[in-house]
Amino acid sequence: MKNSFSIFLAVLSHHFSGTKCSNEATADGDIIIGGLFPIHESVTVTVNDDGRENRTCDRFSTARLVHSLIMVHALEEINQERELGNLTLGYLILDSCGDVTTALIQTQAFMMRNSNNRQACAQQSSPPVLVVIGDYYSEISISVTGQLHLEYIPEISYGATSGFLSDKTRFPSFMRTVPQDDHQARAIAQILDHYGWTWVGVVATDSEYGRYITERLWHHATKKGICFAFVSVLPDALNDEFLEEKINSTIKSIIDNRNVSVIISFVKAYCMIDIFGKLLKYPQARGKVWLASDIWSQSPEVLSSQNYKLSDIGTIFGITLKSGNTTKFERYLDDLDENPNHHENNTFLSNFLNEHGTNSSEELKKLIYPYAVFSIELAVKAIAQAVKNLCTNRNCKRQPLQPLELRRALRKATFYMEEKSYSFDHHGDLNSGYDIILWKQTQDSLDVNNILAYYSIEHQNLTFTSQETQQGNVTSRCTDSCRPGYRKTSVTGQPGCCYQCEPCAENQYSNSNDSETCHPCKENYYSKNTSSVCLPRKTDFLKWGDVYLIVLLSFTSLGAVLTIVVGIIFLAHWNTPVVRSSVGPISIILLLSLMITFTSVILFGGPPNSYQCQARQVVFGLSFTLCVSCIMVKSFKIVLAFELDPVIQSVLKKLYKPYLIIAVCMAGQVVIVTMWLVHGPPYIDSEITQDNMKLMFCNEKLIPAFGAMLVYIGLLALICFGVAFKGRKLPDSYNDAKFITFAMLIYFISWIMFGPVYVNVTGKYLPAVEMIVILISCYGILFCQFFTKCYIILCKKEANTEKAFRCNIRNYSMDHKGSEDELSSNRVENPTLSASVEAPSRWHERLI
């Protein structure tokens, strides 16, 4: 296999005859470490007449030269400190020129050493290359590691971050001292979410790196409600013939999307130079926020090479790999011998020194990237630790190490830097985290090392420093943010970030910007349209301080007082004809029932409770039933006293059991209210009024039972009315029947009006309707039954004598003499009738 591969390398080298190996950096050692750096950023290809290609590297990168020197310094420091005992580390550093094909050609030098083939760039006595540090770009690393794996040579990259390289099935020999791009995409998404930037543009390269990180960013951003307004893809090769056209298209996308204030860039630094140069021609394209990925986040030449001002571009954030301590390396550059002839083993450095002269060290120091110091030195530390682990119990000079051995040792090694331990995970990655930087323009230079925040891969969170920038006033949204009190609704055919704001409905709220939903208010809380908070509902009921209730209670109190006064008057004149003719004991019971009925009115006001709801209708129903029952007994008594028909009079005498009648009437109502309380008692209920108040009221629940109670009272009242109407023409001294008729008429009229009013009235004044009807009924009975008698007792005492009563009866009998004579003529013919008829002079005795 190795012979076949050697032939392949020879053919490949012959085809690309124009690629020379003269540019390299070498140093002898017992163990050789390869280095592959894009010291030039692009390649110009020409084709000879015979079809062979000539490849010329151009766009020299001082920053990448500094990267190679970081590796040299780290290796020399290990040798000087004799960390590996008598073993020394050498190196072979080559230029990938930022091009995959060139990188593969250059990798032949590493492969040829291990294949023991003599080539112009390799010495027979040189030990094999056991490991390669590099390349910086993912696209190159993907190709190079596949080629190096043919000899099991591990590759440790200090900048290739594509997530594809974590696949150990495809890339078993690849490792890196940087995290993969899925973590970087998470960090960028968190930055966007932190500042509320939901409508952004993306510029990426058409490479494994660009495609992967764009896809991962889209994955994480969409979870946070962030959308891409546009994605511009540029060719990865800087000499691509379509690059200019693609950059122009990118500029157009930036200008056309006026709502996009934030652009994320995953392209190389040289592309950004061209992009910024073209953008400055358009005033509307200035002042944007640029979020630079690690590929150019610490490349000040993006601005300084063309003397661009940061204020003209806008704001630049950067995602950088973890920074290292640059102090030692700065001292190394300070002590660097600037004589080109003293660096013949490093043609890259020699050429640079020839061009820049005595100012070379300062130029190099300007382009020290702290992340490169950390990542490259960490790679060297990992290699040194793996070698140390393998050579502790082994003479590695006599028994040279093999690449496969070193690869296994690297996977297991725990190495240290700055008193902290590190190791590769099972993907060959080293998850060290990120620094978030903010570019700052100083008077003399551009500061690209100003750390704004840290991103922890372990905890997946951002931690901002005390100098957090005030970028909250920059908006990058498809539509304006929905204020509290509104919610987002999607628009057909538009991405999720382009939405409409709908107001929250009544009794709903949203208390944050861009709320997805309007939340319902909790119980006993309410809100109006477009509310951001729910307010506690005020409880409403017929309060004691309400004017209407005060008036009704005043009439209730007056009625109760009048009832007591009447009772006192009756008791004080108990043996007078007026009281005796009114059936004194029954009248007292009637007054007592009126008193209770007046009292029941109080139960209809104030804050309702379960006992009150059940008691008020029951107390009213039973007390008013007792009241009507007493009136009915009095009606029967009057009719019985003046009934001329002996048959009817005989029947009435048998039926007239006053207290039994009252008890039977009360028993009927007791049955009704008992069934009501058992099967469906009234309870406290509530409803929401139009002014968003919680109305508390008593719900009668079993309406048929409530109706039956009222109907039962009405039936008794109807009997009273019928009986009283029959005796409406009795003597004036016995005119109770006439007043009973009036009282019942008042009762009927008030309760007939109650029905439709009760059904149509709503709100807290509904109980007041029944209160009014009860008061009207009570006052009707009190006035009609007792006030005329009290007037006679107090003001017309001469009418309150037996003589006056007899005189009144005599006058009544004279008016009805015809009837009396007719009865007398029939006494012989009808003995039964004669026995049952008494003289009118006895009517008075019947009543009193």
Three-state SS across 631-677?
HHHHHHHHHHHCCCCHHHHHHHHHHCCHHHHHHHHHHHHHHHHHHHH
More confident residue, 516 or 809: 516
Query: Which of the four pLDDT bands, split at 50, 70 and 90, describes residue 829?
Result: very low
For residue 482, give both structure tokens.
Answer: 């929905």
Tokens of 739: 């007043």
If one counts every other C-beta atom within 10 angstroms of the C-beta of residue 835, the result is 10
Is the pLDDT score of 818 beyond 70? no
Greater model confidence, 204 or 576 = 204
The pLDDT > 90 percentage for the chain reads 51
Determine the pLDDT at residue 472: 60
pLDDT at 576: 86
Give the model's pLDDT for residue 802: 73
Separation between Cα atoms, residue 64 and residue 140, nearest integer Å: 15
pLDDT at 730: 59
Residues 320-336 have a mean pLDDT of 91
Name the more confident of 752 and 123.
Answer: 752
CA separation, residue 321 to residues 13, 73, 155, 430, 463 (Å): 36, 20, 19, 11, 15
Which amino acid is it at 169? T
Nearest to 78 by CA among 88, 69, 68: 88
Average pLDDT on 386-409 reads 92
Collect all residues with Cβ–Cβ distance below 8 Å to 791 and sequence separation of at least 6: none
pLDDT for res 534: 93
Is 181-321+434-464 a CATH 3.40.50.2300 domain? yes
Residue 637 pLDDT exceeds 50: yes
pLDDT value of position 729: 60
Mean pLDDT for 678-701 is 87
Give pLDDT, residue 113: 76
Residues contacting residue 515 through CB under 8 Å, at least 6 positions apart: 482, 484, 486, 487, 488
Helix (H) or strand (E) holding 737: helix 736-760
Checking if the pLDDT of 9 tops 80, the result is no
Work out the average pLDDT over 215-222: 95
pLDDT on residue 813: 58
pLDDT value of residue 471: 64
Question: What CATH number labels 21-116+125-179+325-412?
Answer: 3.40.50.2300
Q: What is the mean pLDDT of residues 312-335?
A: 91
What pTM was estimated for this model as a whole? 0.65
pLDDT of residue 92: 95
Sheet of strand 288-292, all strands in order from the earlier edge strand to the far edge? 227-234, 199-205, 262-266, 288-292, 314-321, 434-438, 451-456, 461-464
Residues contacting residue 732 through CB under 8 Å, at least 6 positions apart = 808
pLDDT-derived band at 422 (thresholds 50, 70, 90) equals: very high
Q: For the chain, what's the residue count?
A: 848
The superfamily CATH assigns to domain 547-802 is: Rhodopsin 7-helix transmembrane proteins (1.20.1070.10)
Q: pLDDT value at position 820?
A: 46
User: Which tokens belong to 143?
Assistant: 């190709």
